[in-house]
Amino acid sequence: MSLAAEDSRPLLELFGIDHAGGLVSHSPIDGSVIGRVTVGDPEHACAAAAEAFEHWRTVPAPRRGELVRLLGEELREAKPVIAKMITLEAGKIMAESLGEVQEMIDICDFAVGLSRQLYGLTIASERPEHRMIEQWHPLGPVLVISAFNFPVAVWAWNAALALVCGNPVIWKPSEKTPLCAELVMQLVRRARRRFGATADGLVQLVQGDRKVGEALVRDPRVALVSATGSTKMGRMVAPVVAKRFGRALLELGGNNAAIVCPSADLDLAERAILFSAVGTAGQRCTTLRRLIVHESIAETLIGRLERLFGAVKIGDPRAADVLVGPLIDGAAFGAMQSALDSARKRKAVIRRGERVDAVPGGYYVRPAIVEMKRQEAPVTQETFAPILYVVRYRELDEAIALNNAVPQGLSSSIFTNEMREAERFIAARGSDCGIANVNIGPSGAEIGGAFGGEKETGGGRESGSDAWRAYMRRQTNTINYGAELPLAQGIRFDIAP
C-alpha cells in the first residue's frame, strides 16, 4: 500500500465511510487508489429534493440559518481532517487545503447573517391608496456541480446560501475528488442530527460520472444548476437547462492577466505573481496565466520571476516546506506539454516547464515562464497548469486591450502606483472581467464579494454581496387598501350605465 493510501484509510474509518463502491479515487500524490464510493441515483435524489422543498421553504429563514450555523461548527472541529483529505485527493499543499476549509467556515458565517437579511423593497405606486412591495421566495432544489480543484469550498458557497434561501441541495462532485465530498456529507449529517428532524432529501450527495451529472441537469425538478468547471462543460449544461426553462449559474474557465506598469512596486508585484501563477500548481480558475508587462521593466521583472520560480520547492504536498504539489493527473500533464509545444512552434522563449522527479507515480512539474511576441494561441486558451505567458506593452490602452482580448473574463489585476492608471483599469472602459484588482494578484478571492466572470466564464455570481438572489424567485405585489380601482397609466375601462 502506498503512503497516500495509508494516510486516507484512517480518515475514512474515522468518518465511517465504506471502502467499497464503483467509483475509484486516486491520489495525485503518487497515483495510488485511496478509496471507492458508491454511484448515486439521480432520479431518487431529485424526487427526494422536491419532497423536501415542500417543507423547507415554509421554515423561517433565521431557523434555516441555524442549520448552517451548526454545519459551520462541525467544519471548525473537523478542519484539520478535511484539509488532510483535500491534500491527499486534490494534491493541494496543506496551507491551501486549510484555507479551503476556512472558506467553508466563513461562508457559513456569512449565510447565517444573511438568513436575517433577505430583504425586499417597498416601491412607490402611481395609484392612490396602493402600495407595491417586492418579495423573495425560495426557488426550489439546487444542483451544485463542483470541480476537483476546489473540491469542497465551491459546494459550500452554493449550499450555505441555497439552504438559508429555502432550497434543498443536491451535490454532484468531481469524479476525481469523491472522498472529500463524502467526508463533508458526514459533517452535514451530524449538523442535521443536532438541528432536529429534516427530510432526507434536504442535502444530498450523488456521486458518479458524466452520465449521472447529465441526468441531474436534465431533471425539471431541479430549479437551479450551479456548475463550476470548464467552458466546454458549460456549453453542454447551459442549453439543456435553458431548454426546460431552468436557471443556470455558470462558473467556467478563466484566462487571467496582470498588467505591471513602470511605476509598480516590483517587490510587491513579484510576490503576488508567484502565488497567483504557481499556487495549486496552476490549477485554479483564477490562476494568473498572462503577464502583460511594460517593456521598460520587462527584463528586470522576468529575471526576478525566473529566480523565484526556480527556488520554489516542488514535491509531496504533505511536506511543510513544499509550495507546489502535483498536477491532478497525467491528462493535465499532457495538456501542459501540448501548450508548451504550441508556444515553441511560435518561437516563444520557454523557461522551465519540465517534469520533476518528486514522488513516483505523481505528475510534478516546474512552473514555466513563456515569453511570447504576440498574444496568440496558446495564450488565448486556458491550460490548467502552471504556465505564465509574458507579453510586453508600451501604452496602457494597449495593455488593457490585451487583457480583454481573450474569450474568458473571470479575474484580472494591475500593479501601479499611479492613481489614474488604476482608475482607468477598473473603469467601464477598463478590464472586462468580473474581478478587477489593484496591486494584488487575480487569485485568492474573499467570500464577502460576489465571485464570477463574464464572456466564456459564464456570467454567474456566487458567494457574497447579493449573490443570494440567484437562489430565490422575485415576486412583485401590489396591494389596494382603498375602495376605488384606479388603473395604472391612467387607463379608464368603465362600462357606461
Catalytic site residues?
Answer: 251, 285
The closest of 381, 403, 408 to 393, measured between CA atoms, is: 403
N residues, the chain: 497
* β-pair type (387-393, 288-294): parallel
Q: How many CA atoms lie within 13 A of 126 on its CB side?
A: 6
50: left (phi over 0), alpha (psi -120 to 50) or beta: alpha
Contact indicator for 380, 392 with CB cutoff of 8 Å: no
Contact indicator for 460, 226 with CB cutoff of 8 Å: yes
Contact indicator for 209, 145 with CB cutoff of 8 Å: no
d(CA 328, CA 335) in angstroms, rounded, equals 12
DSSP H stretches of helix in 370-409: 396-404
Longest dimension (CA), the chain: 95
Q: How many CA atoms lie within 13 A of 298 on its CB side?
A: 17
Contact indicator for 237, 225 with CB cutoff of 8 Å: yes
The closest of 277, 230, 272 to 253, measured between CA atoms, is: 230
Contact indicator for 181, 171 with CB cutoff of 8 Å: yes
The closest of 138, 156, 135, 147 to 64, measured between CA atoms, is: 138
d(CA 427, CA 327) in angstroms, rounded, equals 36
Contact indicator for 102, 120 with CB cutoff of 8 Å: no
> Count of CB atoms within 10 A of residue 329's CB?
16
Contact indicator for 26, 32 with CB cutoff of 8 Å: yes
